[in-house]
Structure formats: structure tokens, C-alpha cells
Structure 1
Amino acid sequence: MYKIAVIGDYDSIYGFAALGLATFPAGDAESGTTLLRRLAQGDYGIIYVTEALAAMIKDEIDRYDEQIRPAIIRIPGVSGNTGEGIAQVKSFVERAVGSDIIFNEGN
């Protein structure tokens, strides 16, 4: 069975430990890249990364986009939501079903 990890600044991720997820604090690109590589090679099927950290290690995350495992999912942190996580999920859904499923009345 695959495990689930959360990577990001400590304040954003410590609450996930209460849910039984493995948390890995990383505050800079170097530690984030190292952790992501290590977790991706391990038994982690899903790796949540805070949007702030994901912006710092975008090139590293892009390496895993076409792979089935691990799924790397951006989540908002305490610094706020940049919209990157929602855009990523929307993109995944569009690829899976072949069209955009979110309807905006104003658009």
C-alpha cells in the first residue's frame, strides 16, 4: 500500500500529521527538491506540496507530470492560495474526461 506525504513550510503542513500523513518540512528549493526526489523513489503514491514550495521547485515537479506514481498535488499553505493547485486539478480532469467540467456563468 502506498503512503501519502506532505511537503512545505512547517506552519502549513504540521496539521496533516494529525490525519496520519507523513509531513516533511522544507522551506527552500534545495531541501524541497531533495525531499521530493527521495519520496518519489520511495513508497509514496501521493505527495502534496504547498503552492509556495511548488513554485520554487516547478522544474522538479514537472519531471513527474507524465508518470502515474507519485501523484504530486499542489495545496494552499498558510501564505494563501495562488490558484495553482486548482488549475492543476482542472487540467488533470480535462485530460481525463476530454473537456472542462467547470462552468462559469460569467464566461
Structure 2
Amino acid sequence: MNTQFGDQVVLVDSVETDESSYCDSVIARQENLINSHSCGLGNIVPDDAVRVAMMLRAHCLAQGYSGVSKEAVEALVNFLNSGIVPRVRQYGSIGASGDLIPRNRIIQ
């Protein structure tokens, strides 16, 4: 079983416990992780810019180097084709560098 938490795996209950409590622990961690990242600051990014970012991400993932499923790429393309655009704030990306909301930025 993969926890998807890298170095944070030490915070998940031990594999030694029974499987159901381990799975419950992983599910709770995943929900907490999503909730902690469901935030952003600054102005809302224009839909056109978000659509371009979605298209670029779909193109990048479609290259096949990341191991992402074909369905994930198809979902992005389907969102684009259906006009579904998430609301994205200027600050608060969850990028490969691990950056979250910049803490030293002054909010107006």
C-alpha cells in the first residue's frame, strides 16, 4: 500500500496495526492534506490563463513520463472541452517545489 506522503509517512500509523485502522489512518491523512491545500490568496486568475495552464498540464502529462493515468489526462481534456475551469487564486500553488501560500506576502 502506498501512503503518498513521502517523508511524512512516519506520521501514519504503523503497518503493524490491523489493516482497517491503517487504511482509516491513510484516508484521514489524505483528507487532511487536501483540506490543508484547499486555500489560496490574491486575485482570481483569469479563466483564459487557467485554461492555458490546464492545456499545458494535459500536454505535459500526455507525454507519458510522469506515470499518471491516461484517464487523468482525459479528464483534463474533458474539462477543457466542457468549459469547466477551476477558480484559481494568484498565490497558493501546490507545485513540485512544495510551495504553498507565500507566508511573507502582504495581503491587500
TM-score bracket relative to the smaller structure = under 0.3
Q: Which has the higher strand share?
A: 1
Q: TM-score, normalised by structure 1?
A: 0.27
Structure with more contact order per residue of length (Cα contacts < 8 Å, sep ≥ 6): 2
Q: TM-score, normalised by structure 2?
A: 0.27
